[in-house]
Structure 1
Amino acid sequence: MHPQPDPATLGEIVTRSQAIAAGMTVGQVNRRLRSGAWVSLRAGVYLLPHRGEQPADRFEAERRRHRQHAVAAVLRHPHGTIAGRSAALVHGMPLTSGVPSMVEIVVPHGHWTGRRAGVAVRSVVLEPSDHAWIPMGQALRGLPENQVDDAGADVARLHVPAMTPARTWVDIACRDEQAQALSAGDRALRTGQMGVAEVESILARMAGSRGCRRAAAVLPHLDGRRENALESLSFGRFLEWRLPLPVLQHEFSDAAGFIGRVDFYWPAFALVGEADGRLKYTSPEVLYAEKRRQERLEGLGLRVVRWGWSDVVTSNPRLWAQLRGCLLAAA
């Protein structure tokens, strides 16, 4: 009689060799695949859907699917490290460009590079300090290290290699657009995943490498006070449009007391900017409270301009013209 497999040793993603080491036979593995209890992600790497949490929405489902394929890919590449935008998703950093279509992995020089089966493999020199070994449960959920809780046996037993948050940010900032670098970097600073000095050290070591100048130019603009990706993306557009840069998270009060904190404030122009995400106001009560808040701000002689994702995800000339017009009028 074959030994019964020990489920406590199997994570949400498991290789065939791990399943067999846990006491399963090839036949037992194949039966689970045929029944749909397990799903093949790559040759010899399987997803155990019942072990994972259900994503909160379709956007998180898409991000989680990418993280699953990134973990599966690196398990099939013994010299590989999750990198770039895939590493950003593993670390919980937002991507303004959306979920990438290809998993990104880097390998040392001398190994195969190219694109195959949804994985882009490139050659990069990484220092030991550039590597992070992340518990699988954390990697699949995209949790910053300081937000990890008990995600099951796989957290204690199985880790996957990825670039550290700081090295991930440098990889993105060297290769992607400024707004994406701001979004990922602001989040990493806000959650304490990386520090400016750590990034400066990496850039100094990589001086002369392609894209380093661009990353170094973005770094001074990172600010953990921006509370979400929409605010980071908006600030990126201000830089792109060469607008005067606003004060962040300024608080206002009037005779009745505290009004609130605004996303952006141009004091020399008496202008407030609010980046309103979709579904921010979920009830008539909240909507009315926000209306009253704006009326009180306007009572202070301020002009309030609002925008959403569709206004900044591409460089929208309407918003640029509106903000520029307000700034010129006030000047």
Structure 2
Amino acid sequence: MHIDDARLLTRRELLAHGFDDSEIRGRRRRGELCLVRRGAYSRPGALSDRPEARHAVEVRAAVGQVSPDAVVSHLSAAVLHGLPVWGDPLRRVQMTRARRSGARLTGNLHVHAAPLEPGEIVTVGGLAVTSLPRTLVDVARQVGFEQAVVVADAALWRRSVTREELDLALATARGRPGVPAARRALAFARWGSESVGESRSRVAMMHAGIPEPVLQWEVWSTAGVLLGRADFGWPGLRTFGEFDGREKYGRLVPSGTTARDVVYAEKRREDAMRGEDLGAVRWGWSDLDPFAPTAARLRRTFRP
């Protein structure tokens, strides 16, 4: 067995292939093995710097150390479902056992005890994971409003879950702690926020008293030509808004073009939209907290 061939190695696997504990310790000292969690290792450089990617590896390492009936849940399940997690350090792997009691909390593991219906368990990458509707409800019961909206918006944007499925999951969870908060967050979630920044912007607008925008607003010319699509639109106020995150331009760079080409095309799009007598406001990550100056710019730009 060559260590460099594996992404995640357990102590049991290493021992089975002829390594002993002293050699494992030696390889760790020399930097040839990295500790993922107790009894699980990876080769150097195998773990991504992205928190979600690293957490997914930690989840796989933890599964073999917990009771076989434990199901990956909450934020850990959201990570395995491929959803973005904002505002949480992901220090603990979270799992759920279908029991009335027996919850366990340690520095890097949280095992919940709660009812689990067979239809609420799916398989993701070979692991038992709570279904997406159940996961979103559990997350929204546990984390803050803004964090819950970010995760739910992403699921709705990808059309991975329906509003009806969320309503059913909420009804099934009735009586559990945090359900009223989950109901508020999931009711606010919308299709149309394609990034964490856009979801956080919607929450900031709500707190600032800004009218609810149309998401992914299509702007057409008087001649019936589609000029572009804005992240946020207020048709009755003749204004559109754009959240500028770095990833926005990175994912829009097609083969054979440069980021400069994309920025230039973006400017031409905005100029064409402004030409329809529309006001425009742009903001970025640094403008989200505090959002008050951006909210003031929006109010000044609105054209009743």
Give the shorter-chain TM-score range.
Answer: 0.7 to 0.9
What's 2:117 paired with? Answer: 127
**Do structure 1's residue 114 and structure 2's residue 105 form an aligned pair?**
yes
Provide closer, same or farther for how the CA distance between residues 30 and 100 of structure 1 changes in structure 2, counting only shifts above 3 A.
closer
Provide closer, same or farther for how the CA distance between residues 6 and 95 of structure 1 changes in structure 2, counting only shifts above 3 A.
closer
Deviations 1:194-240 (CA, angstroms, capped at 9, x unpaired): 22222222211111222212222233333333222222221222233
Give 3-state SS (helix, strand or coil) of 1:250's partner. strand
1:163-312 mapped onto 2 (5 Å cutoff): 163-254=130-221, 257-278=225-246, 280-281=248-249, 283-312=259-288
- Percent sequence identity over aligned pairs: 30
> TM (normalized to structure 2)?
0.82
Question: Which amino acid in structure 1 is aligned with residue 299 of structure 2?
Answer: R
Provide closer, same or farther for how the CA distance between residues 184 and 243 of structure 1 changes in structure 2, counting only shifts above 3 A.
same
CA distance in 1, matches of 2:101, 2:237: 57
Question: Which amino acid in structure 1 is aligned with residue 232 of structure 2?
Answer: F
What's 2:61 paired with? Answer: 72
Give 3-state SS (helix, strand or coil) of 1:76's partner. coil
Give 3-state SS (helix, strand or coil) of 1:249's partner. strand
> TM (normalized to structure 1)?
0.76
CA contact (8 A) 1:12 1:49 kept: no
Question: Which amino acid in structure 1 is aligned with residue 298 of structure 2?
Answer: L
Deviations 1:104-161 (CA, angstroms, capped at 9, x unpaired): 3334444351223x333433332222223322xxxxxxxxxxxxxxxxxxxxxxx333
**1:325 shift after superposition:** 3.5
**1:24 shift after superposition:** 4.2
Deviations 1:231-281 (CA, angstroms, capped at 9, x unpaired): 222122223333221112122233594321111111110010111112645
What's 1:152 paired with? Answer: none
CA distance in 2, matches of 1:114, 1:252: 51
**1:30 shift after superposition:** 6.3
Give 3-state SS (helix, strand or coil) of 2:277's partner. coil
**Root mean square deviation of aligned Cα:** 3.0
Runs of 5+ in structure 2 lacking a partner? Answer: 250-257
**Do structure 1's residue 322 and structure 2's residue 290 form an aligned pair?**
no
Provide closer, same or farther for how the CA distance between residues 73 and 197 of structure 1 changes in structure 2, counting only shifts above 3 A.
same
Provide closer, same or farther for how the CA distance between residues 47 and 193 of structure 1 changes in structure 2, counting only shifts above 3 A.
farther
Q: Alignment length, in residue pairs?
A: 292
Runs of 5+ in structure 1 lacking a partner? Answer: 136-158
What's 1:13 paired with? Answer: 8
Deviations 1:289-319 (CA, angstroms, capped at 9, x unpaired): 222222222211100011112222x352111
Question: Which amino acid in structure 2 is aligned with residue 93 of structure 1?
Answer: L
CA distance in 2, matches of 1:101, 1:167: 21
CA contact (8 A) 1:270 1:303 kept: yes
Provide closer, same or farther for how the CA distance between residues 252 and 188 of structure 1 changes in structure 2, counting only shifts above 3 A.
same
CA distance in 2, matches of 1:297, 1:228: 22
Provide closer, same or farther for how the CA distance between residues 210 and 308 of structure 1 changes in structure 2, counting only shifts above 3 A.
same
CA distance in 2, matches of 1:111, 1:71: 22
